[in-house]
Amino acid sequence: MKKLGLPLPRGTHTAVSIMRHPIHPMVVPFPIAFLLAIVFTDLAYLGTQDPFWGRVSLWLAGGGTVLGVVAGLIGTLELLLIRGIRHRPAGWSHFVMAVMLLSVGFINWLSRLEDPLGAIAGSGLYLSILGAALVSVAGWLGGDLVFEHHVGLGKHKDEYGADEKHGDENE
């Protein structure tokens, strides 16, 4: 029980990596960019009535959702495999926001499949704006994990140059 009162050490390793480089941060920029861009392509369609922008929004919604699921699976593995991530509230908050984001992204994509142009004027733009807001919050929390908690960056040195004690991070 005493262990629960101790502060978490800074830094953790990564479980899903290529040559010690975490894969999750390599994959997330694509769904982030795609899901944010839908707002602008929806607005471009509404402003120009050019069907091209409606098709672009459909493809961005699909690509953002599929790649977001890939990034989400990798992030979920990290969360479940690394104790140092599991024990941080920011890790769980990031996870919950990402699940909400992928749910909205999937609904947005699904609503566009039959009528990409009609969906924009209906709920499409609202879902795109909600998705962009969720991307922002999930991204903020993910950035907090990296920049504040040093998740995925490995162990850190203490003030004397020795590795900080982490215990067994894979429990």
Whether the predicted pLDDT of 11 surpasses 80: no
Q: CA-CA distances (angstroms) from residue 34 to 37, 130, 165?
A: 5, 14, 40
Whether the predicted pLDDT of 123 surpasses 90: yes
pLDDT at 10: 67
| b/e per residue 133-162 (b: at least 16 CB within 10 A) | ebbebbbebbebbeeebbbbbebeeeeeee
Whether the predicted pLDDT of 96 surpasses 90: yes
pLDDT at 171: 44
pLDDT bin (cut points 50, 70, 90) of residue 57 is very high
Whether the predicted pLDDT of 151 surpasses 80: no
pLDDT at 20: 78
Are 155 and 166 contacting, i.e. CB atoms less than 8 angstroms apart? Answer: yes
pTM of the model: 0.82
39-48, 73-82, 144-153, 158-167: lowest mean pLDDT where?
158-167
Nearest by Cα to 76 from 128, 153, 23: 23
| Rounded Cα gap, residues 93 and 138, in angstroms | 8
Beta-carbon count within 10 A of 36 CB: 17
Assigned token pair, 29: 């920029």
Domain assignments of the chain as residue spans, ordered by start: 11-147
- In the chain, % of residues over pLDDT 90: 60
Contacts of 36 (CB under 8 A, 6+ apart): 132, 135
Instruction: Give the residue, 59 or 171, on which the prediction is more confident.
Output: 59
Assigned token pair, 96: 């919950």
pLDDT at 168: 45
113: three-class secondary structure by DSSP: coil
Whether the predicted pLDDT of 165 surpasses 80: no
Instruction: Give the residue, 6 or 11, on which the prediction is more confident.
Output: 11
> What does the pLDDT average to over 139-165?
71
Whether the predicted pLDDT of 49 surpasses 50: yes
Whether the predicted pLDDT of 154 surpasses 80: no
pLDDT at 64: 98
> What does the pLDDT average to over 21-45?
95
Residue with tokens 């979920």: 76
